[in-house]
Structure formats: structure tokens, C-alpha cells
Structure 1
Amino acid sequence: MKQPKRHPIAITVILLFVAFGFFFAVGYSITSMIYHWTGTPPEFWAHVISGLVGMILIVCVASISRLIASRYSKGMRQHHVLQSQILNAMTRIAQGDFDVFIDAHDDYLHNDMVDGINKIAKELGSMEQLRQDFISNVSHEIQSPLTSISGFAALLKNTALTDEQKNHYLGIIEAESKRLSALSDNLLKLSALETGGEPLSSMEFRLDKQLEEVVLMLEPQWNVKGIELEVDLERVTAQGDEGMLSQVWVNLLHNAIKFTPEGGVIRVILKSDQVNICCRITDTGIGIAPEDQIHIFERFYKVDKSRDRAHGGNGLGLSLAKKIVELHEGQITMQSEIGKGTTFTITLPK
């Protein structure tokens, strides 16, 4: 047979009677213990006192229960709010919206998670900004030579051009094509170095001989401008990737030649001690302003974009040099002064 259902109100009344009976019994027991030491008052007052003690117990327990329930309820509400904020933030991040921040409070149980999500959103936002800047810079660098090539190729269709004009336009097209090729090559090298796609090969080689070979290779460039090369190379054996380090010296010397006026001086000094190898490349060129020096190793950064474009630069040479030096656990620094020249110092572990 089915048990008859009891009404919730009836159950509540029964529980209240049981609770009152329990607390009054406890109150009677407490007062009896007290009377054992103080003596028993008249029966009427004894019942009154035990009843008051029971009521006090009921009020205290009810207050404590209400406080606990209130705090628990508040904690649950905060937990649900925080959970909703976390889920919303993670959904927005998954959709590519990194403008996310969750306010943390001292009484939150998951502040570590909140801090972690805020940090992830901030880092991803920075990476997205770098990606957008990178795409913008690459597009700009590609568009400029393509526009020149397209424009001068169209001019070559003119049958009335002289041979001198044709050769001039063809020379510009050739130079712009080489600039595009250099841009592509440097981008591929930077990508390979940063992703580990082009691991370093380590071998011993004469660093002084390598620098000497680079100086001689670039002789047509510095000789045509009447630049004097002062070379002081100590006999040094280095350990590292010979091909990549050669790219560092080529980039730095090429820049020094490019921005040193005719009749200037470039000094290449190589020294070493028991711990480090130090190479300094100093020019008497135009120098770099202080506000530009802090950006000089950034990708695509150019001190004077119009002048640099005229020289065929793409703003990646110094970034590539810095990355190669860092992969060899070395350091590259720069000092420069407008109108007096620039010095690049490369320090490598011996």
C-alpha cells in the first residue's frame, strides 16, 4: 500500500515542535547543572529560568544558521556570476575578441583563474596587434616596388624612348625586383629562426678571417664612395654558425656604408678576452636620433622611410642580425649621435 503523503506544512510544524522541545530540554539540563552549584530557586522561577535559557539557545542557533545560510547564498551567487563571466570571456576569446577583462574580488574563490584569463586575453591581444602591424608593413613594403615595376614597365611600351631612357627604366625595375627578392629572403630567414625551422650549426672558425672576407666582398660599395676602412682584427677563433654570423657582418657593414657620406670612415675592431668576443663597427655617418634608437631593431622600422627606400632598404636587416646574435647567446647594442656616426657592438660568448 502507498504511504499517505504528508503536507510540507505539517512536517515543518512537527520539526519545529521537536526543535523547541530539544532546546528547552537542553536549557533545563544547563540550569540543573547551575542549580547544583548555586542552589535550586523556587519551582516557578526554576521553570522560568530554564525556559529563558532554552529561548536564548533557540535565538542563538537561529541567528548562526541564518548567517551561515546568508554567506553560503552570497557565495553561491558570486560563484554563479563569476562562472558566467569566465564562460563569456572564454567564448569571446575563442571568437577572436581579446578585449576581455574580468574584475577580481578578494572573496572570489577562483582569482587565480581570473588572473590567468585576463593575462591570456592581454597576451593574445598584443599578438593580434603585432600580426596586424606585420601584415600592414609587409603589404606596404611589397606594394611600393610593385608599383614602381608596373609603372616603369608601362613606360617601356613607348616606342619613342631613347636607349638611355630604356636602360634607366630597366635599371629601376631590376633594383626594385632585387628589393622584393631581399624582402622575401629576409622574411623567410626570420620566420625560420624564430620557429626553429633553421637550426644553428656549430663549428669552430676564424672570426677575424670571416670579417676580413666580408670587408673585401663589400669593397666595391665603400670604394665607390671613397670611404676609408680602418680594420683592427685580433686573431680570434669563434664557435657558432659561420653562415649566419656572416649575415650579421654583411648587414651591419652594408648599413654603415649606406649611411656614411662620401669620404667618411668606417672602423671594424675585433677583440677578445677570457670570456667574450667583442666586435665594434663604427661609422662617421649621419647618426640616429635618440627617439629612433629604441626602435632600431624592430621589424620594418626605418629612421627615414623616404631616404631608406631610395637606398633599397626594407627594415629587416637589423632585426635579422639581432635574432642571429641572440641565438648565439650574444648581445648587440648601439650608440649613435646625430651628425657624428653610429657604433654597433656585438658581444659573443667565447
Structure 2
Amino acid sequence: MFKTLYVRTVAIYLGIVMFSVAFSLLLTILLFFEKTGQDQKEIFEEKAELIMDFYEQMQPEDFQAFMNHLAQTSSLAIQLIDQETSHVQTFNLPKETQLSKLEKEISAYTIPWERNGTVYQMTLIEAYPEGNLLELMTLLSLIVLTSIVLVLIATRYLVRPVNAVTSVAKEISMGNFNVRLPTTRRDELGSLAVNINHMATELGQLEREREAFIANVSHEFQSPLTSIRGFSSMLLNDDMPTGDQQRALTIIQQESDRLSRLSDNLLKLTVLDSDKHVSQPIQYNVAEQIRRTVFTLEPQWTQKKLQVEMNAEKTLLDAEKDLMNQVWINLMSNAIKFTPPGGRISIHVSSSPHYIEVRFKDNGIPIPSKEFGRIFSRFHKVDRMRDRNINGSGLGLSIVKKIIERHRGKVYVYQESETEKSFVVLLPKTTTQDKSN
């Protein structure tokens, strides 16, 4: 019914106040109404008799002054009506005050009084009604007690889901990411439960990725170390032929280089993750930077007899030049690595009103669509790419993604056909570039 916790809380406490007042008032009336009416009547009767007796004893000459004094002393307003002439006399009652109006609001008592052969109708009423102190205190006490009981019940109702959230948060902090909160509520606590459940899911996924990352790092380091250890043991054998020694030394050098590259990539990812890298963006021609990368890697793609095409005009970009150079090297190396001999690679740089787009397209090994979301994960290798003749640690695309995200851009893979796929990089277009063009 209530969409927000704020409205729910306000409604509950307003309901408590209204219920407490109504309940306490009803109970007070049931306890005191009959007794109050009886006590008030007895008090008026006693005061009326005292007034009449006192008048008979005193027989004052100034009746008006005498009655005013008695009325003030008794905190009463007195009205006398002559039964024959209907003449009205009032004592201790302002002239502008209508007695009929007071009688409707406050209890009054009327009694006949015969004085000097004339019968009067005497009406007594409290001149300064203050109410019964016991009744007032009882009413206030009931309101307070009822409110306290209802607030305790309501608070328990409101705090219960908060305690559940606290308990689940404690479980998550202790590493239990399988706990979940019910999501039936439609207020702020319901929204909080949904977010906490999502957070637990993401943390669980992150924990699984961390464990997989540690396992992958151990595997990637263990494989070259095993090779180095084995061939080093062989070199200790003096009877080993010279040709085998050279082959063993070559493998040791290759595996050492592999370890060096792996350590370097891990260090880069660590720096990017921790944001310790100092940002120093400059404006430069990104098309020229990519062109130089292609020339730098020319020995690799010419060795495989690949056809490389590039379509790009001068395109200015505000970015960290060294980091972006790593992006283009990784993407170009990746394309060369997985494109078969005699294949082709095309690079296209274009500019839109808001983004600069760089597309690396090749006709290499296709990527299954289910792998698109995981291909940028650390140490992730598509099963069809697990070729022992292809070197790689599975960190290159992770580094690419980190660098692109650091520049508020995005990178994704797109399978254009069964034989062609593209790695697409989108980078925000700067106002400086717009002016230069």
C-alpha cells in the first residue's frame, strides 16, 4: 500500500497518535462520566443550600453586593429569574456572556428559591471551569502508556527488516556470498534488499574470478618454470650433445622471455587497477600512432604473408599516448597471432560527432558468441584458440579493456561473418579535436 518507508513510518506514527487519543478518551469517559455527573450535581446542591442558608442568616440590605460576593467566593456564576415577572438578575457573570450558551458547553444546576414571598429560579454554573485534575491526569497517562506500547510494537515491526539486512551484511563481510534477502517489499528497504542481493552475487562472482585468477597465474608461471627446470637439469649432463644443448638453451631463453612478459603484464594490470598511474593526456594524431604500430610489427605479419590494409585520415585524440600505444600493439599482435598465413587484416579509423572509432578486422579464427562477454577477462582463452604453437598469457585483451575504460571509452568484439571478426574501440571525441578539424 505504501510505496516508501518514509510514508509508511509517518502513517504508522500518526495512526498511533490518533488511536491513543481516541482510546484513552473513550476509556476515561467510561470510567468517570457517570461519577462526574453525580459528583457535580451534589456539589451544586450543597452550594445552593449554603447560599440560601447564608442569606437567611445574614439578611443583607444590599442583595446585589451580597450575591456578587458569594458568587465570586464560590467561583460560581449565578442567575436568578423571577417566576412572575421573568426579570433576570446575574451575579459574577459578564453582561456580554450569554448564560444559555454556557449551559450548552458546561454543566449547570437549577433550583427554585423562595425569597421574601417571591419564587426565583436560581441557576448555578462554574464561573471558571478548570475540569477535574484526576480525570485529566488519567487521560494523559492513558495516552502516554498506549502510545508507548504501540510505538514499541511498531518499532519492532520497522526494525525487523533492518536487522535482517544487518545480519546478511555481516554474513557477506565474513565471506558468505550465498545469503539472500527477501525482495517482496516495495519500499526503500525492498530496493535495498535487491541491491544487497545483487552486490552479494557480484561479490561471489568476483571471488570466483579471483580464485580462477590465482589458479591461472600459478599455471602460467608453473609451465615455463617446469620447462626451465627440466632443460637446466639436462644441461648439467656433460654427455649432452652440442646440438641438444643449443636447443635446450633456446627453450630456456624463450620460456624466460615468456615469464618476463607475463610479469610485465601483471604489473601493468596491477598499476591500472590501483589507479597509481599518473594521468598525462596529450593531444596527438592517433591514426599516425596506429600506422607506426603496424610498421613496427611488420616483421611478424610479413613472415605469415598477411595482407594488411589501413584506412585512416588525421584524427586528433586527447589521451595518454603511451597507454594507447599499448592498446594498438596488443590488438594488432592479437590479429596477427590468430590470423592464418595468407590471411588479411584491415584497420579502419573513423570519426563521428561524439566518438572516434578504431576497428581491427581479420579473417582469423572465429569467436563463439557465448565467449564475447568473457574474452576480455584475465587469463581467459577461447577453447578453439588453445594452440600450443600460439604463445600468449590471456592478459593482452584485459590490459586493452582497462586502458580503454580509463579513457571513458569501450571496446568490444563483433563477429561480422563466419570468417571475419572485428575488435572495435570507441573513444570519446574531444572539443579540441572538433576545433582542429
Q: TM-score range by the shorter chain?
A: 0.7 to 0.9
Gaps of 5+ in 1: 1-17, 37-63
Gaps of 5+ in 2: 1-27, 40-102, 108-142
Within a 5 Å distance, the mapping from 1:112-123 to structure 2 comes to 121-123=200-202
Q: Does 1:22 align with 2:32?
A: yes
Shift of 1:22: 1.4
Partner Cα distance (1:66, 1:326) in 2: 60
What amino acid is the match of 1:181?
S
The answer to whether the 8 A contact 1:286-1:338 is kept is no
Is the alpha carbon distance of 1:264 and 1:98 closer, same or farther for their aligned partners in structure 2, counting shifts above 3 Å? closer
* SS of aligned partner of 1:310: coil
What amino acid is the match of 2:420?
G
Within a 5 Å distance, the mapping from 1:313-324 to structure 2 comes to 313-324=392-403
What amino acid is the match of 1:217?
T
Shift of 1:297: 1.4
Partner Cα distance (1:290, 1:225) in 2: 27
Q: Does 1:165 align with 2:244?
A: yes
The answer to whether the 8 A contact 1:331-1:347 is kept is yes
Partner Cα distance (1:218, 1:209) in 2: 14
* 2:344 equivalent in structure 1: 265
Q: Does 1:128 align with 2:207?
A: yes
* 1:51 equivalent in structure 2: none
Aligned residues between the structures: 309
Partner Cα distance (2:151, 2:183) in 1: 19
Point out the structure with the larger helix share.
1
Q: What is the RMSD of the two structures over their aligned residues, measured on CA atoms?
A: 4.0
Is the alpha carbon distance of 1:89 and 1:146 closer, same or farther for their aligned partners in structure 2, counting shifts above 3 Å? same
What amino acid is the match of 2:278?
P
Partner Cα distance (2:186, 2:307) in 1: 70
What amino acid is the match of 1:333?
Y
Shift of 1:302: 0.4
* SS of aligned partner of 2:392: coil
Partner Cα distance (2:408, 2:188) in 1: 42
* 1:280 equivalent in structure 2: 359
* 1:152 equivalent in structure 2: 231
What amino acid is the match of 2:283?
E
Shift of 1:87: 5.2
* SS of aligned partner of 1:287: coil
Identity over aligned pairs, percent: 36
Answer with 1 or 2: which has the greater Rg: 2
Partner Cα distance (2:156, 2:278) in 1: 53
What amino acid is the match of 2:315?
V
Counterpart among 369, 374, 380 of residue 301 in structure 1: 380
Is the alpha carbon distance of 1:69 and 1:212 closer, same or farther for their aligned partners in structure 2, counting shifts above 3 Å? closer
What amino acid is the match of 2:371?
D
Is the alpha carbon distance of 1:108 and 1:233 closer, same or farther for their aligned partners in structure 2, counting shifts above 3 Å? closer
Is the alpha carbon distance of 1:66 and 1:272 closer, same or farther for their aligned partners in structure 2, counting shifts above 3 Å? closer
What amino acid is the match of 2:347?
V
Partner Cα distance (2:37, 2:182) in 1: 48
* SS of aligned partner of 1:343: strand
The answer to whether the 8 A contact 2:339-2:365 is kept is yes
Partner Cα distance (1:27, 1:143) in 2: 99
Partner Cα distance (2:422, 2:253) in 1: 32
Partner Cα distance (2:186, 2:421) in 1: 56
Q: Deviations over 1:253-276 (max 9, x none)?
A: 101111111111111222335543
* 2:255 equivalent in structure 1: 176
TM-score (norm 1): 0.72
Is the alpha carbon distance of 1:263 and 1:93 closer, same or farther for their aligned partners in structure 2, counting shifts above 3 Å? closer
TM-score (norm 2): 0.59
What amino acid is the match of 1:314?
S
Shift of 1:167: 2.3
Counterpart among 310, 320, 323 of residue 241 in structure 1: 320
